[in-house]
Amino acid sequence: MEEPQDDGVVETGDTDWYWDLDKRIAVQAADRGPADQTLGPYDTKGEAENWKATSSHRNDIWESDDDEWNGVGSKQD
């Protein structure tokens, strides 16, 4: 049995939105450029346009989780 190949292609719906880093605009899936030049998918155009706030919020959560995992601020520091 042949194993499926991972060709780096991400399946996306026609209604998905992306932030195009080159054009600096939100684009629908059919109009997006190369994957390394887009962020997404997002459910709406507004979410794609708000990518920076979403990314910043996720980073804050991950940093907080890292600090908790590493025991920063614990009595053992």
| Secondary structure (3-state) at 35 | helix
Model confidence band, residue 32 (pLDDT cutoffs 50, 70, 90): very high
76 part of a folded domain: no
Q: What is the pLDDT at residue 70?
A: 84
Radius of gyration, alpha carbons of the chain: 18
Q: What is the pLDDT at residue 42?
A: 95
Q: What is the pLDDT at residue 66?
A: 85
Residue 48, domain extent: 17-70
Say which residue, 5 or 69, is predicted with more confidence: 69
12 part of a folded domain: no
Domain count, the chain: 1
